[in-house]
């Protein structure tokens, strides 16, 4: 089974729902990663703003940043090898790396909220 690591640029959140507008690409990636993690696949995501040490420690990521600069983030590694720079993987790429169908990575995530309303005394 493949191990995928995504090294994000510095950002406040990885879902794309913070800030003045929603970033649909970040939302798509966050959904795909959530669904892959839920299935037990080995996938990690790192944020330069909150986890800078991992960017320095990883020789491949450090090399890309040194040679090309931070404009080439995000960087995606599969089994320790750089496979994509400057863009997030597509759902087809995730599907290929994990042997799943791409449409399995686009399901809507249901978030259940239960509110117990009791009268105030």
Domain boundaries, the chain: 3-105
State the Cα–Cα distance between residues 30 and 109, nearest whole angstrom.
11
Q: Is the pLDDT of residue 32 over 90?
A: yes
DSSP 111: -
- Beta strand 81-85 with 75-78 is antiparallel
Would you state the pLDDT for residue 18? 67
What are the E-state strand segments in the chain? 3-8, 42-47, 75-78, 81-85
How many H-runs (helices) and E-runs (strands) does the chain carry? 4, 4
pTM for this predicted structure: 0.83
Pick the CATH number of 3-105 from 3.40.190.10, 3.40.30.10, 3.40.109.10, 3.40.50.1000: 3.40.30.10
> Among candidates 11, 38, 37, which has minimal Cα distance to 25?
11
The total of other beta-carbon atoms located within 10 Å of residue 18's CB is 13
Mean of the per-residue pLDDT values of the chain: 87
pLDDT, tens only, 38-82: 999 999 999 999 999 999 999 999 999 999 999 999 999 999 999
DSSP 12: S
């Amino acid at each position: 089974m493949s191990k995928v690591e995504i090294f994000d640029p510095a950002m406040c959140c990885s879902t794309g729902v913070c800030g003045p507008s929603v970033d649909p690409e970040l939302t798509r990636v966050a959904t795909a990663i959530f669904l892959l993690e839920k299935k037990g696949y080995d996938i990690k995501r790192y944020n330069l703003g909150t986890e800078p040490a991992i960017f320095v420690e990883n020789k491949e990521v450090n090399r890309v940043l040194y040679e090309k600069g931070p404009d080439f983030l995000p960087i995606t590694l599969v089994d320790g090898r750089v496979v994509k720079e400057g863009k997030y993987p597509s759902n087809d790429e995730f599907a290929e790396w994990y042997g799943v169908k791409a449409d399995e990575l686009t399901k809507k995530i249901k978030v259940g909220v239960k509110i117990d309303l009791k009268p105030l005394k």
